[in-house]
A and B are shown apart, each in its own frame.
Chain A
Amino acid sequence: MNNKVEIDMNGSVLVLRGVSKSYPGVVALDRVDLDVKPSEILGLVGENGAGKSTLMKILVGLDQPDAGQMLLRGQRISPRNPADAIRHGIGMVFQEGSLVPNLSVKDNLFLCHEDGFRKFGLLSSRSMVQTARKVLEEVKVDIDVDTPMFETTPATRQMIEIARLLWLSRLYAQQNPILILDEPTTVLTDGERETLFLILKEIKKSASVILISHRLQEIVEESDRIAILKDGRNVTDMAAADAEISEIERLMVGHVFSSDRYREDEQAEPQDEVVLKVDKLSKEGFFEPLSFEVRRGEIVSIVGLVGSGKEKVCEVLNGLERPDGGAIYLDAQRLPMGAPSYTVKAGIGHIPIDRRSEGLALGMSVAENINLLVLKNLRSGGVLSSRMERKNAARWIEECRVKTPSMNTMVSNLSGGNQQKVVISKWLSSRVRFLVLDHPTRGVDVGAKDEIYKLIRKLASDGIGMVIMCDTLEEDIGLSNRMLIMKDGRLVREVDCSATRKPTPADLIDFIV
């Protein structure tokens, strides 16, 4: 490079200056600066589309910047691909994971970098096993290194990826490697999440970690410094010690959230009529007989730890699992159970936790996704009427404020929040009487969350009864009229959550754990 590097590293290992990247029609990054100090956890936050993913892709060489400089310990670098990046000591643990499922743990650890284990031209299994054990010990994973990858849990896989990156950066003699973790906690249970952060604290002694997360709570608690991106630009960075979540949110979104962030002021008293009655429902090994009722327009949240059985209860409500005993009544009619077709027909809808694999036909259009449940009503003369299809789709796009260039756009091209609105539209148009919402705001950014809360309130005012499971206890408290707390497969307590009498998380935590 002809223009000599004159950037003050200022104690940072990695410095990005003026990094820009445009895709056709979108400026993803606009002169972004980023500093990564040695031995720190840097929390990187921003809404979807703020440019976090693009920035990280550039760091690991999955994408090349249009302009700007990247300096690693004063040396200018421009990684061409992830393999090149790791030679510089920069590695990323991907959201989807980048391991080969049918290879063993040890094969995955050393994949493509096995040269060191060569003995007479063949790979020495013994020394691989030894090294693998040692490497895994660092991340506190105790597992047979010959286990095929697909038999391991998501948490273990993540640890193995981290171990692999650490080993690789050591292999290429990089001091203080930089690990990028993209939404590492979405796939983890609470216990696993704690373990992850314990290990990250350990790793931090000789490495830097860039942590991307939608969960601002953990960003504030676990990182040393926080960098905020908005609309592809830097907003600020700050020390995590004196950061406040509300302040971060304000910077991310660009406006202040009111204190009633779950739209509690729109919370209405439910109607008197019971829409769903669960009577001594049970499933062996998951939950003991339990009974509860949900009234029209009532939002009932089920809370409990992993293993409390709340997920199974919802699966039974949706017909995904057959119960061992008990009955469900919808509008006093006993519901046939054990297949989603029965429950859907009866008028029970389901917003699944994983909307990409369970909620949407990704390769099909917005209109086709919205109309899925009501095709029978969109016929004229025995065949589907394009006019009626367009009308129905347009109506729900409008009503649920789905932001899409057209109703014929493929759903996979929409953002997470808008995809979720398509799933909700689909159920609304079929006039459901009862909805199970399984983590409705999972993977949705702060601004879009608010729109989903608004939709949920509207559903309630339309008289739809709901059972909801949320990402955070605060969300459960804020959204629901009533809370059912489950523990070890039993319904242990019912808590009133009407708008004027919201409990605090601290009030509840004792019942939950």
Chain B
Amino acid sequence: MIESERPGNVAEPQEVSASAKRRVRVPTIVYTLALLFVVGFLFALGNRNFLSLYNLNTILSFGAILLMVGLGQMSAILIGGIDLSVGGLMSFISVIFTILVHPLGYLVYPICVVVGILFGYLNGLLVTRVKIPSFIATLGTGGILTSLALFVSARPVNVPSSTYGILDLVNASFLGINNILYFGFVVFMIYNIILRRTAIGRNVFYVGSNIRMSWMSGINIVSTRNFAFMLSGAGAAIAGILISAVRYGGDPSVGGVYVLSSIASVVVGGTALTGGTGGPVNTLFGVLLLSVLDNGMNVVGIDPYFQQSILGLMIIISVVLTFDRTKTPIIK
């Protein structure tokens, strides 16, 4: 690093280090957006229906589910941790939501979110009180939750048709837009306000950026970390609710794929795995990119065997473009 300062002469123009000048760069979000447009354009060329209102609605509806898990995962990652239990939690919530929707009615929505938050809190306690790294702690709780889901219902269950009305909260549409998108937008705004515009949200960034400094500055690092994992639990629970509502049924294995795809969406959006940098807007675009890719490859008819490798390649490319690698001296 080239240090640069000409002290002793305050009148001189402001100096920045050379590396800083090099780092005056396009915000990472711009790369994600550009990539999104390029990919969207290519798919639209491949199949005109890609841009049809129906298909865009499909993309966004599935994107909304990934966005919920992604926002939760991002909270855990911002604090410098990771949440591998989101999949198990999603499956568990999916099953209990389906079973409880009849006896509880509309109450099932808040109750499932609270259950998710409680499991998030449990993850938090394992990390902050038992002092287990989040990677291990959530791997454990994720496993427990997966088998809990199977224990409650080993097979997919359907929502009784008498309660479809309750699911309309998610499945109906308003002004030609699926309700699930409003859901996604509202939750996104809530995460954005909490993380960007509240003190505890800002503390998540401080702790993720430098936990010792945060502790020494009097930030409650235990409750801040617990809070981040609660946000993660809430996100996974909402995703579990949405996916069951959309499918009119619960499935004890529905969450599995969301563990890695939530991490991918966070990272592709430009949130560093080292914590402290990134945010909800990043994750929104990461989710959009992944959803567009996932849908577009089917729409233009790419061989399903080939899709995974394209997806993998795109993740690598977008991380190369978006992730500010100058901030992390060593890439592990």
Contact = CB atoms under 8 A, between A and B. Distances in A.
Interface of A: 23-26, 28, 47-49, 53-54, 231, 253-255, 318, 320, 340-345, 350, 352, 357-364, 368, 372-373, 375-376, 379, 382-384, 401, 403-405, 409-410, 412-418, 426, 445-451
A418 B23 CA distance: 18
Interface in B272-302: 272, 276-277
A361 B202 contact: no
A23 B209 CA distance: 28
A376 to B, nearest CB: 6
B16 A447 contact: no
B7 A451 contact: yes
B5 interface: yes
A382 B18 CA distance: 40
A344 B18 contact: no
Contacts of B17: 26, 49, 413-415
B162 interface: no
Given A372-B217, A413-B16, A362 B5 contact: no
B22 A383 contact: no
Contacts of A401: 10
Nearest to A344: B218
B191 interface: no
Interface stretch (B50-58, B89-97, B173-181, B193-201): B193-201
Given A23-B2, A415-B5, A447-B9, A318 B216 contact: yes
A362 B20 CA distance: 13
Interface residues of B, number: 43
A26 B3 CA distance: 10
A451 B206 CA distance: 27
Contacts of A28: 2, 4, 18
Nearest 5 A-B pairs (CB), nearest first?
A: A447-B7, A344-B218, A23-B18, A447-B8, A413-B20
Given A49-B6, A320-B216, 7 more contacts: A23-B18, A49-B17, A358-B212, A361-B206, A368-B202, A376-B199, A413-B19
A363 B7 contact: no
Interface string B1-44: 11111111110001111111111000000000000000000000
Given A341-B218, A344-B217, A403-B15, A418 B5 contact: yes
A49 B4 contact: yes
A245 to B, nearest CB: 16
Given A48-B4, A361-B276, A403-B5, A372 B206 contact: yes
Interface in B118-169: none
Contacts of B15: 26, 49, 403, 415
A345 to B, nearest CB: 6
B212 A357 contact: yes
A316 B327 CA distance: 33
Contacts of B199: 375-376, 379, 384
A446 B6 CA distance: 10
Contacts of A350: 216
B308 interface: no
Interface string B313-329: 00000000000000100
Contact of B220 (A341, A361, A372): A341
A345 B2 CA distance: 37
Contacts of A415: 3-5, 15, 17
A253 B6 CA distance: 8
B4 A26 contact: yes
A345 B219 CA distance: 10
8 contacts: A48-B5, A340-B217, A361-B276, A363-B276, A368-B206, A404-B16, A405-B14, A409-B16
A359 B196 CA distance: 22
A25 B18 contact: yes
B7 A417 contact: yes
A340 B8 contact: no
Contacts of A383: 193, 197-198
A445 B3 CA distance: 11
Which interface residue of B3, B10, B205 has the most chain A CB atoms within 10 A?
B3
B3 to A, nearest CB: 4
A373 B217 contact: yes
B202 A384 contact: yes
B210 interface: yes
A376 B220 CA distance: 14
A362 B210 contact: yes
Contact of A358 (B23, B209, B213, B276): B213
Given A362-B209, A376-B199, A352 B4 contact: no
Contacts of A447: 5-9
B5 to A, nearest CB: 4
B205 A364 contact: yes
B210 A357 contact: yes
Given A25-B21, A26-B17, A361-B210, A417 B5 contact: yes
B259 to A, nearest CB: 26
Contacts of B7: 47, 253, 417, 445-451
